[in-house]
Amino acid sequence: MSETPRPRETGGDCGPGLPQRRPQRAVAHAGAFGSGAPRRSDGRPPHTPRGARRTDPAGHPGAIPPAPGWPAPLACGLLCLLSTLFALITWQVAVAGPLVELDERVGAALFGRGPAALTQALSDLGGMPVALPVLACATGYALWRGARRLAVYAALTMAAVPALVIPLKVATARQGPLTEAVNYYPSGHTATAAVAYGASALLLLALPRPASSRARRWPRAWMMPVAAVLLTTATGIGLVLHGYHWPLDVLASWCLGPVLLAPLGWVSRRSRRRSSSRTPSR
């Protein structure tokens, strides 16, 4: 029986037992043409934040996408500061402390300042007939765009205003500036304006803009939160100047508004990140 002769190894071949390096595998892992972009051997990007980075026009890797989470430490610190200030004002009102005496002197000096028609119009910005339709339109638009979760969070945030404000009014029983009636702390109109306009801005910011509006860059993202802050500030100023509330009543509601809006802001932030990750890069 004849045996098939084995081919002889040439000088360029590796000896038995010594593994031979395969250059194509190194290219597959190092990235095409040494670009530095990590690649898997099957051509798919690795399951790491670095692999999810998009390159810029020059071919350099972009920034690592941030992982979704709670707000930044600065935002958390601001919310803690507002909560502490609200608790301090509530304690002073409940015990009729020295801060209340200063508040009444400042309020007496501010009552009646400015045109009465203007201050009345500013005060009405926090009323239910004005603020709630604005939030209803923003919520309806969010539902039409399919953002049901955001719409539910906005409705729950608005429902939290009377749930917190009314018990505080009854518990403190603070007398109004120009009346014998009580239950004026905190300002319900200011809290309603802060939540209604703030929630509307957060809803509109979380929704992805159509392609036509992205091309025009209108409206700009910073305009909606600025408008919400201006409307809330104008409401509180009108209430104090017209004599409907003491300054501390308004200041406490200014502190309470961002705290109530924090859960909706967190959900809105996650929604914006999710929609931006789905948008293809150009």
Nearest to 140 by CA among 125, 152, 131: 152
pLDDT in tens, the chain (282 residues): 445 555 454 444 444 555 555 555 444 444 444 444 455 555 555 555 544 545 444 554 544 444 444 457 888 899 999 999 999 999 999 999 999 999 999 999 999 999 999 999 999 999 999 999 999 999 999 999 888 999 999 999 999 999 999 999 999 999 999 899 999 999 999 999 999 999 999 998 888 766 555 445 445 677 889 999 999 999 999 999 999 999 999 999 999 999 999 999 888 888 777 665 555 444
Nearest to 45 by CA among 62, 25, 22, 28: 28
Distances from the Cα of 220 to the Cα of 154, 188, 193, 229, angstroms: 22, 30, 22, 16
pLDDT at 100: 96
CA within 13 Å, CB half, 87:
7
- Domains of the chain, residue spans: 98-276
SS3 label, residue 55:
strand
Q: Give the pair of three-digit tokens for residue 67.
A: 């992982």
How far apart are the C-alpha atoms of 173 and 189, rounded to whole Å? 17
95 Cβ contact list (under 8 Å, min separation 6): none
Determine the residue type at 148.
Answer: R
